[in-house]
Amino acid sequence: MSTQPDVTVLSVGTEWHSLTGGIDMLNQRICVELARAGLRVFCRVSPSSDQAIADAARQGVVLVPAPPGPRDFALARRPRLPGGVVPDLVIGHGRFTGLVARGITEDHFPTARRLHFLHVAPDEIEWFKHRRGEDAGERAERRTALELELARTADRAVAIGPLLHNRYLTELSAFDSPAPLRFVPGFDSGSSVPRTPPPGAPVKILLSGRVEDFSIKGLDLASRAVGLATRRRGRGTAGVEFVVYGARPGTSAAVRSNVLRWSGHPGLNVVVRPYTSDMTRLAAAQRTASLVLMPSRTEGFGLAGAEAISAGTPVLVSSTSGLGLLLVEELGPDAARPFVVPVSGDDAEDAEAWARAVEAVLNDRAAAFARAHAVREHLASRFSWDSAVTSLLGELGVHQSDLV
């Protein structure tokens, strides 16, 4: 009798320890959870360190590094799986690895089913990217067409969160393909023990993400809001430190200069750090923060905000994010108001709304942490990683009886 799981997955990422977070981080978590659910999981990545291979193995995932060479070409080479293993499922993520996943499936594993995870909506985000010599509309059209092609030709498309699910439910209705599945990441990765505000000073406000796309992530909006809120704080209150994680290597000083300029407060205490894939450092940053900001002008879901909720840290998220929509769905508009802040497109109006929301948290941190614990418990009971993966596998016709 075989001791190996009967269902094998090959997921295509780019890095196991990603320096840009987002899609690779979510891919890593999905791989780990699939392994915990009893599947045999391989993850195709770029050439990887021994440390990354060992870290994945500790979590039940076998990394299959690509040979050296241009990234997409190397990733698309036939993965060397042990003992002639043939995957039952091949997973690709957006345009980043979806095309590679399709090539691997069609060229090497034609019996496998392919899943295409949808992480972004190009028609929403491309307008906020600053790219010289490119027309945003043409780029959005091209990238949307690619996402739809990969989604409609997959065995199933999987949209992350309610915002993307709603959008692609509409987009894919034009084709003779199944409706996309809705996948909500779990909120149960942190401790369920209620937290209190971190001791000492300064009081830290955290924003993390790929900050070169500052307009999408709302770094300029957050900076202005923190500047306003800090200026209005009375004397004798604890000082505020604005911590920004996500600068590209060599750009921290330039990012800090921009944050100070946007804030309108030259004396604002600003700390800028490069993005790190070290989950211990990121977790520590969340736990020492009194508030996490996610003021994205558009955001398919919002993993940074979801991680803060899992950690029990007070968070403010954009009304135009998938996470914001989920909070409104789950809590109702009134109960969601302390967590979901409007982003209307009027920068002055939005900065004032965010400044007031920041002040409300800083003026009563104990109450903010109590609210954060309550929302974490509610969401963790509704959306666990185990239930997310079990539901996904059930939609694909894979049940516990299929697993060893």
Place of tokens 């780019």: 14
Q: Is residue 96 located within the same domain as residue 163?
A: yes
Q: Which amino acid is at 61?
A: V
Q: Let me know if residue 244 belongs to a domain.
A: yes
pLDDT in tens, 124-145: 999 988 777 789 999 999 999 9
Q: How many domains does one find in the chain?
A: 2
Is residue 327 domain-resident?
yes
Residue 325: per-residue pLDDT: 98
Tell me 235's DSSP state. Answer: T
263 and 159 fall within a common domain:
no
Q: Say what the pTM is.
A: 0.94
For 33-54, what is each residue's pLDDT tens digit? 999 999 999 999 999 889 999 9
Distance CA 188, CA 309 (A): 9
Q: How does DSSP assign 161-195, residue by residue?
A: HHHHHHHHHHHGGGSSSPPPEEE---S-SS--S--
Q: Are 32 and 175 contained in the same domain?
A: yes
| 113 and 255 together in one domain | no
pLDDT at residue 84, rounded to an integer: 82
Q: Distance between CA atoms of 24 and 341, rounded to whole angstroms?
A: 27
Confidence at residue 20, expressed as pLDDT on a 0 to 100 scale:
62
Low-confidence ranges of the chain (pLDDT < 70): 1-5, 19-21, 234-238, 277, 399-404
The CATH number given to whatever domain includes residue 293 is 3.40.50.2000
Q: Are 128 and 27 in a shared domain?
A: yes
Same domain assignment for residues 33 and 157: yes
Instruction: Count Cα atoms within 13 angstroms, Cβ side, for 60.
Output: 17
Q: What residue type is 198 in one-letter code?
A: P
Residue 134's pLDDT is what? Answer: 81
- Is residue 310 domain-resident? yes
Question: Residue 217: its pLDDT value, please?
Answer: 94
Domain extent, residue 329, equals 203-382
Report pLDDT for 55: 95
